[in-house]
Amino acid sequence: MKRQRVAVVGCGMLAQSVHLPNVQANPRGELVAVCDLDPAIAEACRQTFGAARAETDWQRIVAADDIDVCILATHTNLRGAFIIPALEHGKAVYTEKPLAPDRAEMLAIVQAVRRTGRPVCVGHNRRSSPAMLEFRRLLTAAQGTTGWPASVDRSAGRESLPEERGLQLLMRVNDDIRSWKEWIFTDDAGIMFAEMVHFLDLALWLNPGHPVRVFADGSPRGNFTLLLRFDDGALTTIQQTMVGHFDYPKELYEAATHNITIAMDHHIEVRQCGLADEPLLQTFPYAAVTTWAPEPGMTGYFHALDADLRHAARTIGVEKGHARHLDRFLTHLDGLGENPCPVDGAVAVNRIALKCLESARLGLPVAITPEDWHIPA
């Protein structure tokens, strides 16, 4: 196993809470350099996370001979301008989402990946959440079967309807505007672009068909519903609210297909009804920092909330896959396993996120065509 020499560029909230500790803890990685426009932040991160050096100019990271992998955790103010020369200098890049704000910049990154043969992994980390991977495994298993006989079943002798073969998927995102950082209020594309790319990525990753239409209703700044139709008739609904309570579980995923219902609650619990050979309920560990809430699953979450958080305001961290996503990418660089999120798929996600904005602003459904999700070889 080769230890990849890593640099982290953009050492703000996400890098300090996720990427820097994850590199530090990963035996496949070695933190060589940190870089931030703010010298005080760069130096503080160098000391806290044990990097050999701190930089303020990302061009020095691109040109360095002792760096194999760059983690880019700035906002979209820095994407193609950094990623393309980094690839040309032989580096691999893990970039935070969104990949880039417009099609031209995204395609320039795709072309650089193809030209240099160096990989980019996009930080759609929920693909690597253990509970999400289990949700997807069960959903795949459900495609080839039918749910066990129900307690009420009047279908004997009835012709099956074409609609009965569809996949209905709901993603509910409970957010609290009181927790949002300042930049969200001035960002032109807002939450519907910057945050929804996570959920649009999952919609494309979980649906076997291609998207054909989106309708976004509500304000792009928050409190909206996205409805995606796929070419096999499947519908995915993403419901985002900014007027929920921060400490209520944020994410619920519920899929129904072939009379099988599968749910994933907040990355800590997976439930299903209809798959005969699978467990009805599984629980998944909290994030490593939440050692103080030992009882697993949703019941455990609410017991922890009742016993502690209501009084002491501690966040119950859940495992959204950040560490595993990076580990899968480092493993891929070692020649073992796939890149967990190559760049082509992220182009489709961002294109569709832009169509969501268009739909919300027009108040009309907007077509999605192959040029949104297919890039010629």
Specify the DSSP class assigned to residue 56: S
CB of 36 to ligand NAD, least distance (A): 4
Closest residue by Cα to residue 93 from 55, 62, 56:
62
Using H for helix, E for strand and C for coil, what is the string for 89-123? CCCEEEECCCCCCCHHHHHHHHHHHHHHCCCEEEC
Specify the pairing of strand 120-122 against strand 4-9. Answer: unpaired
- Which of 154, 178 has the CB closer to ligand NAD? 178
CB of 100 to ligand NAD, least distance (A): 10
Specify the pairing of strand 235-241 against strand 211-219. Answer: unpaired
- Which of 74, 350 has the CB closer to ligand NAD? 74
Torsion of CA 256, 257, 262, 266, to 10 degrees: -50
Specify the DSSP class assigned to residue 305: I
CB of 19 to ligand NAD, least distance (A): 9
- Which of 121, 366 has the CB closer to ligand NAD? 121
H-run or E-run covering 257: strand 251-257
- The residue nearest ligand NAD at its CB is 12
- Which of 76, 282 has the CB closer to ligand NAD? 76
* Contacting residues for 216 by C-beta, under 8 A, at least 6 apart: 192, 224, 225, 226, 227, 356, 357, 359, 360
Q: Report the Cα 266 to chain-centroid distance in Å.
A: 13
- Which of 35, 93 has the CB closer to ligand NAD? 35
* Contacting residues for 294 by C-beta, under 8 A, at least 6 apart: 300
- Which of 10, 190 has the CB closer to ligand NAD? 10
Specify the DSSP class assigned to residue 302: H
Give φ, ψ of 223 to 5 degrees: 65, 70
CB of 18 to ligand NAD, least distance (A): 7
CB of 255 to ligand NAD, least distance (A): 22
Separation CA 28–CA 74 (nearest Å):
23
Question: CA dist 316 to 197, 255, 292, Å?
Answer: 24, 25, 9
- Kindly state the tokens that stand for 57: 């100019």
- Which of 97, 172 has the CB closer to ligand NAD? 97
- Which of 173, 260 has the CB closer to ligand NAD? 173
- Which of 281, 288 has the CB closer to ligand NAD? 288
Separation CA 100–CA 349 (nearest Å):
11
Mapping DSSP to helix (H, G, I), strand (E, B) and coil, where does residue 335 land?
Answer: coil
CB of 274 to ligand NAD, least distance (A): 31
CB of 156 to ligand NAD, least distance (A): 48
- Which of 172, 229 has the CB closer to ligand NAD? 172
CB of 37 to ligand NAD, least distance (A): 4
CB of 266 to ligand NAD, least distance (A): 14
CB of 203 to ligand NAD, least distance (A): 17
**Sites of contact with ligand NAD (CB under 6 A):** 9-15, 35-38, 41, 58, 73-75, 77-78, 96-97, 123, 125, 194
| Burial group, residue 306, by CB count within 10 angstroms (0-12, 13-18, 19+) | exposed
Number of Cβ within a 10 Å radius of residue 5? 18
